[in-house]
Amino acid sequence: MKKEAKILRAKAVESLVLSIELFNRPSDAGRTHGVLIFLDHAFEMLFKAIILHRGGRIREPRAKQTIGFDASVRKGLSDAKLKFLADNQALTVQMINSLRDAAQHHILDISEPHLYIQAQAGLSLFRDVFKAVFGEDLHAYLPARVLPLSTMPPTDLATLFDNETKEIKKLLAPGVRRHTEAEAKLRSLAIVEKSLNGEKVQPSIGELKHLAKAVASGKKAWNEIFPGVATVTLTTNGYGPSIDLRITKTGMPVQLVKEGTPGATVVAVKRVDELGLAALLTLGFHESKWTDQEVGFALGKGTLVIPVRLGLDPYGFIGKQQGLPGKLEAPESLASGIVDSLLKHKTTADLMREALIVGFEKAKSFNTAIAISKKVEALKYISAEQLRRMEGACEKNTIVKNSWNVPERIQQVVQRFKPSVTEDTTF
């Protein structure tokens, strides 16, 4: 290993240990800021060490300074020669970096459970990347007992944000007059939401007031106020010193943000308003002016429109499309046909394929597992990560494991795609 890379790696481990040490300290003085600042520094040093170790450069030609955090993440995610980060991992370090910016440059009021998620997820990710790149266990460089300790670890991200918004709503109640505290608490939630949406800038006072108003009204659930956060979840394995906590996306793909985009992060959760619009062509469909207007609006946005023949053939703007035959009294068959249409269209194929994989992982009935496995069997492309997740579901989900011929069918799919799996292997 190059000397500079070795020094950077050692500094990364030192900062990681300092971050955990601050997390576990009894005093609250500077604790939150220290945890995030040192954790962020640990990742930047680690990424630069890896870039050098794999033959890359951390200085641009004629530049006096080394590349920054974002450039390091971008290299680790998109440079084929250096690649050491997966999408989920990039999202995790990006959230930590955005929270660190607030802690370093302004005010951050982050709850204890939320801080624990960031600290434990950071440690798990650091350990994963360290071992994947250097082939060494992190425990060789620090005691196994070094981990964040919490008396109130959150069960999942949804519960955390739900509880946080409820607490904020109490602060915003009439007569309480604690709006400043409420906005301070909202800041950490808004930062995570912005980070997932690909925005690096901190939330403005106006944005915080808008969020506060939405929370206070009680008209929207937390996942409507923070839709980006609703696309990720927590996975926890092990216990004690071997606990692993990872932040993963659910159903929504991650896209690389164009380099040089002002105020943007490296990656963002890609969301769409809808996969497509299913136009149910019943006999009364054409009589309503609103139905034609909705179809026209969808087509104008470039949204896929799937005409379903329920007594009426496609006409007008969708007249050239072949209608999907269906019966309202047979919804399963109709839904299956719509899924097939979404899988075939270039604008919806990736999202629909990911939705199938998520549905397979969470299948709660034999019929669901069997139906999805048949859809998967007909796919023309599946990523290496998705193949591994399906194999994992066959082992961990008892419904999937015991569904007739499902594990065997998935193994056939894995074998069929295995020769083409070349690069999507980094975790």
Full DSSP string of 29-62: TTHHHHHHHHHHHHHHHHHHHHHHHTT--SS-TT
Phi first, then psi: give them for residue 226, nearest 5 degrees.
-125, 70
Structure token pair of residue 245: 């906590």
- The fraction of the chain above a pLDDT of 90, given in percent, is 33
Residues of the chain with pLDDT under 70: 144-147, 150-156, 236-275, 288-290, 293, 297, 301, 419-427
Q: Looking up tokens 């309202």, which residue turns up? A: 328
Return the bridge partners of 264, or none: 199
> What DSSP character marks residue 318?
G
- Report which residue type is found at 291: T
CA dist 176 and 269 (Å) reads 36
Query: What's residue 260's pLDDT?
Result: 60
Average pLDDT, the chain: 83
* pLDDT value of position 254: 55
Give the β-pairing of 267-269 and 232-237.
unpaired
CB-based burial of residue 383 (10 Å sphere; 0-12 exposed, 13-18 middle, 19+ buried)?
middle
Distance CA 308, CA 330 (A): 13
Summarize pLDDT for 168-208 with one digit per residue, the tens: 999 998 887 788 888 888 998 998 888 877 777 788 888 88
Nearest partner of 1 among 139, 129, 135, 142, judged by Cα: 135
Q: How far apart are CA 287 and CA 278, in angstroms?
A: 17
Beta strand spans in 139-195 (E): none
pLDDT of 90 reads 87
Residue 198 tokens, joined: 């690909």
Indicate the helix (H) or strand (E) that contains 354: helix 349-361
Global pTM reads 0.62
User: Measuring CA to CA, how many Å separate 373 from each of 2, 15, 370, 383?
Assistant: 47, 45, 5, 16
Determine the Cα–Cα distance for residues 228 and 242; give it in Å rounded to an integer.
29
Give the whole-angstrom CA distance, residue 200 versus residue 203.
9
Q: Residue 313: exposed, middle, or buried by beta-carbon count in 10 A (0-12, 13-18, 19+)?
A: exposed
What residues form DSSP beta bridges with 248?
A: 233
Task: Give the 3-state secondary structure of residue 281.
Answer: strand
